[in-house]
Amino acid sequence: MMNSIRLGAAVAIVLMSGFAAHAQSSADRMTGLKLSGDEPIQIESARLDVDENQSVGIFSGNVTVVQGETTMKSGRMKVFYAGDAGSATTGSANIDRIEVDGGVYVKSQTQVATGDRATFDMQTQVLVMSGDEVVLSEGENVIVGCKLTVQMNSGQAKLESCKDGKTGGRVRMLLTPGSQDR
């Protein structure tokens, strides 16, 4: 069970690292959420279920993942494993993708990213965060859209507007002069 928790934590860290690439490409001074591979990872949730037959591990109930100064919170985090490689309960399985939902909140130092759900595909290295509003903020600087797609291999990111007209069909960005110096 402990190895399964460590494996899930590693996946959560990969998910959160995607926000760094987006923040860097969206605004020069939004420097990205930072993670450190050499710091311990702590996961807390009300429950952890592992289904070897379905090759999935599910952390549910106020999920909190902490590494250094970075914190992710959500209602649920599902870790999908490649069915033919190892065991999810021993931590030896290859991770195929993860899905986080139930409100996703990621904070690192001065930056915060929020959305309704996020997925990370390990094979294609693509992160997608979506919801009624995906909000990236650093201090007074804010970027709002509804779907964020990050190509982790290239660092390219795309933030799309809301199709329902909620934001007038446009991505919104507020940059406050001098905010980088505060």
Whole-angstrom distance, CA of residue 162 vs CA of residue 182? 31
> How many domains is the chain partitioned into structurally?
1
Q: Which domain holds residue 159?
A: 2-181
Q: By the 8 A CB rule, do 18 and 99 touch? A: no
Q: What is the model's pTM?
A: 0.71
pLDDT in tens, the chain (182 residues): 333 333 333 333 333 343 333 333 333 233 343 344 567 768 899 999 988 888 888 999 999 988 788 888 999 999 888 866 555 555 556 778 889 999 999 887 888 889 999 988 888 888 899 999 999 888 899 999 999 888 877 878 788 998 876 667 889 999 988 766 65
User: How far, in Å, CA of 1 to CA of 4, rounded?
Assistant: 5
**Torsion angle (degrees, nearest 10) of CA 173, 174, 180, 182:** -150
Give the 3-state secondary structure of residue 181: helix
Closest CA to 19 of 113, 95, 118: 113
CA dist 114 to 6, 55, 87, 180, Å?
Answer: 24, 28, 32, 21
